[in-house]
Amino acid sequence: MAVGVSTEMGSDRNKQYNGRVTKYVILSCMVAAMGGFLFGYDLGISGGVTSMEPFLKKFFPKVYRRMKEDTSISNYCKYDSMLLTLFTSSLYIAGLVASFFASSITSAFGRKPSILIGGATFLAGTALGAAAANIYMLIFARVLLGVGVGFANQAVPLYMSEMAPARYRGAITNGFHLCVHLGILYANLINFGTEKIKGGSGWRISLAMGAIPALVLTIGSFFLPETPNSLIQRAVDSQKAKLVLRRVRGTADVQVELDDLIKASSVSKTLSHHPLPQILQRKYRPQFTMAIAIPFFQQLTGINVIAFYAPLLFRTIGLGESAALLSVVLTGLVGTCSEFITILTVDKIGRRPLFMIGGILMFIPQLAVGAIMASKLGDHTELMTKGYAYSVLVLICVYVCGFAISWGPLAWLVPSEIFQLEVRSIGQSINVALGLMFTFVIAQTFLAMLCHLKAGIFFFFGGWVFVMTGFVYFLLPETKNVPIEKMDRIWREHWFWKRFVGEEEGAGNQ
């Protein structure tokens, strides 16, 4: 069983860090968290517009004809189109590439410039998407949105975890994923409203409304303070870092925390200036493994099946266009409300228990949905009765709740806090890039998988939920209340990872 950091070590260390959650921290993190809102908006908006008949008729006429006229095609295969999935998935391959550029900018120039680039590029993408006259404009707009998402997702979780006091870091950093869910809900409500607009132009309004949160992030980024960690890492001015630290902690007595930041920075500067080879060293093996495993497992929960294609899924099982969009609004509300549970409990009961609870709440509904669809949804004209369709909706809501208290927020929180300063930027970039890559793969292949595996797709994702819950139980140590500058200790005390991070190597990073 994984061994966490001792309570005494965490609490003793936190007593030496003075300060509180100030209005300055809250306002700064609220603005930065709009990066998560943009990500959530995109997750929600694409599934909604691809279920709108005027949108399909204009850009994907083959899919539209198959949906309306061809009764010989399986219900599971009506939306199987590589071009349609490319509309959704092109954003994520662009974000993958952009996140590595973001790593260099975040490390060399600070967290603020990456946040600004993310907001401005996303703003340009929404304008182009809303004005799209052909499929090429539409796809290029998605690429611009992907660049914005890549920069924002790389920089924002780092920014929030570095601004937050250690004992509240979980709750504050989870604000990023709360905003992801708020963005999804915002997109779902917009789609539900614009679908009713006469004339078939509702999808343009849906795509354009992303400009509002993008504008807030772009303008707000000019007023954000840079994090003390970044100021010290870039050797800007230790006195300026001290002034910022005093302001964000609300106290003049910040010397202990400042000394730890300077010590961590001095260690990082004695190491290689090539971060990618550096993170591949044996002593960073636990963090590197988590940077790969966490985004991989997050996508194999199957959540983006719901995020991208829930309206198409609900239409597949027999709900109408409006009912399908309303159902997605309901799942969005469930996810948003569940996020508050995590925010209130993550720094009290810890990360690992939430992972366990969430795993159970995702595993059981997926098996049940698969069983209902296998027995009640025919290949061709036989659709589910409304009773079974709404049973599937309820089970999906339970599943969304499980994800929203575990792999949703924690897959962003844990990677943002486990890396030492010298590999923090590249570690976060690997995490974001692989997350976007796996998102691209799922988005690009899901409709084909649904066509071929049919109801078995839910057993597929359910099996992976079982595997990842075991992975967390055995290999992920608890990070609750551990100061971010002292995070290397958890690996030296873990039953498995201590063989890679020895006492001497770990001591050198203190």
Per-residue pLDDT reduced to its tens digit, 214-263? 999 999 999 999 988 888 888 766 788 888 888 888 888 888 888 888 88
The CA-atom distances, in angstroms, between 136 and each of 90, 124, 129, 139, 197 are: 12, 15, 10, 5, 25
pLDDT of residue 11: 43
Residue appearing with tokens 């690429």: 143
- 402-455: pLDDT as tens digits: 999 999 889 888 887 888 777 777 888 888 888 888 888 887 787 778 778 887
Rounded to whole angstroms, the Cα distance separating 171 from 353 reads 15
pLDDT of residue 96: 84
Question: Does residue 311 surpass a pLDDT of 80?
Answer: no
Find the angle CA(145)-CA(427)-CA(165) to the nearest 5 degrees.
95
Q: Can you read off the two tokens belonging to residue 118? A: 């993310």
pLDDT of residue 112: 92
As a whole number of Å, the end-to-end CA separation of the chain is 26
Confidence of residue 158 (pLDDT cuts 50, 70, 90): confident
Question: Does residue 504 surpass a pLDDT of 50?
Answer: no
Question: Does residue 474 surpass a pLDDT of 90?
Answer: yes
pLDDT of residue 53: 84
User: How many other C-beta atoms are found inside a 10 Å radius of the C-beta of residue 134?
Assistant: 9
pLDDT of residue 127: 95
- If we measure between CA atoms, which residue out of 328, 316, 314 comes closest to residue 78? 316
Percent of the chain having pLDDT more than 90?
28
Confidence of residue 10 (pLDDT cuts 50, 70, 90): very low
Cβ(4)–Cβ(478) below 8 Å: yes
Rounded to whole angstroms, the Cα distance separating 146 from 129 reads 12
Distant-in-sequence, close-in-space partners of 508: CB < 8 Å, separation ≥ 6: 267
